[in-house]
Amino acid sequence: MTKRQEHILQIVKDHGPITGEQIAERLHLTRATLRPDLSILTMSGYLDARPRVGYFYAGKQAGTVISERLHKMLVNDYKAVPIVVQENASVYDAIVTLFLEDVGTLYVVNQKGYLAGVVSRKDLLRASLGNKGLEGIPVSIIMTRMPNIVTCAPEESLFMAAKKLIDFQIDSLPVVRPAEEDSRQSELIGRVTKTTIARAFVELGSEPFL
């Protein structure tokens, strides 16, 4: 947007509905000079015009609308079921679970069922390279352990969750809340993955109306 277009937009925001003549007057320009700018602003959706009324601001900018919508999508409404293995499960068991459940990341839970660690497809691939006795290696040896795990809360926005996935270069975020009986423990209530985000992206593009 040019300086002049920004100026026009501000005038219409402050004084609209306002005629083209009146905008031109305020800018000490002719109506003809402004015509291209007004056309661009109208076509791009910033302004709307009505005969005998003039130009008025056509609402929030697209970026604001989109950003607001994204921040209103909550993790709790999009989270998937967490796929877990017990801390004492073997690497072999974990690989079988990964294939059966068709996921990229497994969450490891302790005896009380609280989140203890995370093990990725890559961790399992690394462990299986050259190792034969995968049945004898407990998954807790190769997992990333709490508290070194990035998690998210159910009331966080999906936008924040996506930002964590990108910023920390991870594929999966456990959705947790502090356990009732012991707030230092994390109760596992879901997972958000890049698949969750891609699905939300498709949903956003598919809904013509909210």
**Contact residues for a second copy (CB under 8 A)?**
16-17, 45, 48, 50, 53, 56-71, 95, 98-99, 102, 104, 121-122, 124-126, 128-130, 132, 134, 158-159, 162-163, 165-166, 169, 171, 193-195, 197-202, 204-210
- CB of 124 or CB of 188, closer to a second copy: 124
Nearest approach in angstroms of CB 48 to a second copy is 7
Nearest approach in angstroms of CB 2 to a second copy is 15
Nearest approach in angstroms of CB 44 to a second copy is 9
Q: For residues 128 and 95, is the Cβ–Cβ distance under 8 A?
A: yes
Q: For residues 49 and 30, is the Cβ–Cβ distance under 8 A?
A: no
- CB of 156 or CB of 187, closer to a second copy: 156
- CB of 151 or CB of 186, closer to a second copy: 151
Cα–Cα separations (whole angstroms), residue 123 to 87, 98, 103, 104? 15, 12, 13, 10
| Distance, CA of 71 to CA of 200 (rounded, Å) | 12
Among the listed residues 204, 205, 207, the one whose alpha carbon sits nearest the alpha carbon of residue 71: 204
What are the residue ranges of helices labelled H in the chain?
Answer: 3-15, 20-27, 31-43, 62-72, 75-78, 91-101, 121-128, 139-142, 158-167, 194-206
- CB of 112 or CB of 198, closer to a second copy: 198
Nearest approach in angstroms of CB 96 to a second copy is 10
Nearest approach in angstroms of CB 162 to a second copy is 5
Nearest approach in angstroms of CB 58 to a second copy is 4
| Distance, CA of 48 to CA of 55 (rounded, Å) | 6
What is residue 145's three-state secondary structure? strand
- CB of 89 or CB of 197, closer to a second copy: 197
Q: For residues 54 and 46, is the Cβ–Cβ distance under 8 A?
A: no
Give the relative orientation of helices 31-43 and 20-27 as an angle to the nearest 10 degrees. Answer: 120
- CB of 15 or CB of 26, closer to a second copy: 15
